[in-house]
Amino acid sequence: MKTMKKILIPTDFSACAKTAETYGMELAKQIKAELVFLHIIITPVNWSKLTKEQENLFPETKENISKAKKELNTLLEMAEKSGVKATKLLVFNSGNEKIQKFIESEKIDIVVMGSHGQYGFKEHMLGTNTYSVLRRAEIPVIVVKEDNVKTAVKNLIFATNFKEETGSSFSQIEKLAEELGAKLHILFVNTPTYFMETNDILSVGQSYLNEFGNYNYDITIIDAFKEERGILQFAEKLDADGIAVITFGKSDLMQYFSPSITENLIAMSELPVISIRKSKK
C-alpha cells in the first residue's frame, strides 16, 4: 500500500475550519505529507467567463474572492513556517462542485474536515458535501471538532464488526496508525441487536486480524445497548486520541456501521473521528 503523502483540507476559514487546518498541519508534519487547502466560492455566474469589467458587476462576489485569496495565502505561509509543503485550490462554481472530484484529481490520500459543536455537524460548512465525502471516499476522512485539543495520535480505537468485506479498508487504518506511530486498539461492541457470545467474537476477530492485519492485537469487547455508546465508553476509559470506523456507503444494505453511526459519533464525541468507507474491492 502506498505511503499517505497528500492531505486535503476543505476550508471556509471559520473557527471550526481553523481547527481542521491546525490539525492537518500537525498531521502533515508527523507523516511528512503535503497539504492542499481547498476553498469553494459559490458564484452567481460562471466567473471564469467574465472579463475584468464584467466582474465589477458583482462587487460582493469580487470582494469574497479577494478575501479568500488572502486567507489561502496566509495558510500557505503558515504551512511554510511549519516546514510543510502546501498548495491551494480556489474553486468558483454554482453550487454543484463536489469535494470527491478534487480527491480524485489531486490524488488525495487523507481528508481533514472541521465540525461545529455537539449538534452542529448537520449544519456543517460544507453541508451535503460532507456527507458525500463520508459515504463515498475510500480514503481516510478525519473529522475534527471545533474545540479539539488532540494534536498527536498515540492511542487510536478501531471499532469493528470483523466483517470480511471490510478487510481492505482496515488495512488503510492500520497503515495510517503505523505512519502516525499510534497504538491501534481493536474494539467490538456487543449489542443486543447483534449479540454474539464472547468466544465467537474472539474467534471471528482473530481470524479477521490474522487475514488482514500485519501485527498482533488484543481484542476488547464491550457490552452496550448501542454501538456509539460502547465506543465512547471505551474511548473515555482509554483516554484515546481518536476513533476509527469503517463506514458503509449509502447504497449498502449492511447497516452495522452505517453512515448514521459514524455521524452520531462525530456529533457525540469530542475526539477526532477517522472514517473510511468500505472498499468496493
Full 3-state SS string of 97-149: CCHHHHHHHCCCCEEEEEECCCCCHHHCCCCHHHHHHHHHCCCCEEEEECCCC
Q: Taking a C-beta distance cutoff of 8 angstroms, is the pair 160, 188 a contact? A: yes
Is there a single domain that holds both residue 112 and residue 191? Answer: no
Is there a single domain that holds both residue 100 and residue 70? Answer: yes
Spell 18-28 as b/e; 16+ CB within 10 A means b.
ebbbbbbbbbb
Is there a single domain that holds both residue 13 and residue 139? Answer: yes
SS3 271: coil
| Residue 150 resides in a domain | no
Task: Look at residue 123 in the predicted model and tell me its pLDDT.
Answer: 43
Task: Look at residue 164 in the predicted model and tell me its pLDDT.
Answer: 86
Q: Which of 108, 123, 145 is the last residue of a domain?
A: 145
Task: Look at residue 129 in the predicted model and tell me its pLDDT.
Answer: 60
Distance CA 184, CA 157 (A): 6
Is there a single domain that holds both residue 269 and residue 162? Answer: yes
Residue of 112, 154, 108, 137 whose CA lies nearest to 2: 108
Is there a single domain that holds both residue 135 and residue 225? Answer: no
| Residue 1 resides in a domain | no
Strand 155-159 to 6-10 pairing:
unpaired
Q: Taking a C-beta distance cutoff of 8 angstroms, is the pair 266, 143 a contact? A: yes
CATH number at 44 reads 3.40.50.620
pLDDT along the chain (281 residues), means of 10: 80 87 93 93 84 87 92 96 94 72 90 69 48 76 83 90 88 89 95 93 96 94 94 95 81 46 84 81 51
Is there a single domain that holds both residue 224 and residue 108? Answer: no
Residue of 7, 268, 261 whose CA lies nearest to 112: 7
Which residues, at least 6 apart from 208, have a Cβ–Cβ distance to it below 8 Å?
A: 160, 162, 164, 167, 170
Is there a single domain that holds both residue 110 and residue 196? Answer: no
Is there a single domain that holds both residue 125 and residue 185? Answer: no
Residue of 232, 235, 6 whose CA lies nearest to 102: 6
Got the DSSP string for 61-110? HHHHHHHHHHHHHHHHHHHHHTT--EEEEEEEESS---HHHHHHHTT-SE
Q: Which of 145, 169, 194 is the last residue of a domain?
A: 145
Domain that holds residue 69: 6-145
Total domains present in the chain: 2
Task: Look at residue 258 in the predicted model and tell me its pLDDT.
Answer: 53
Q: Which of 91, 117, 145 is the last residue of a domain?
A: 145
Got the DSSP string for 15-36? HHHHHHHHHHHHHHHHHT-EEE
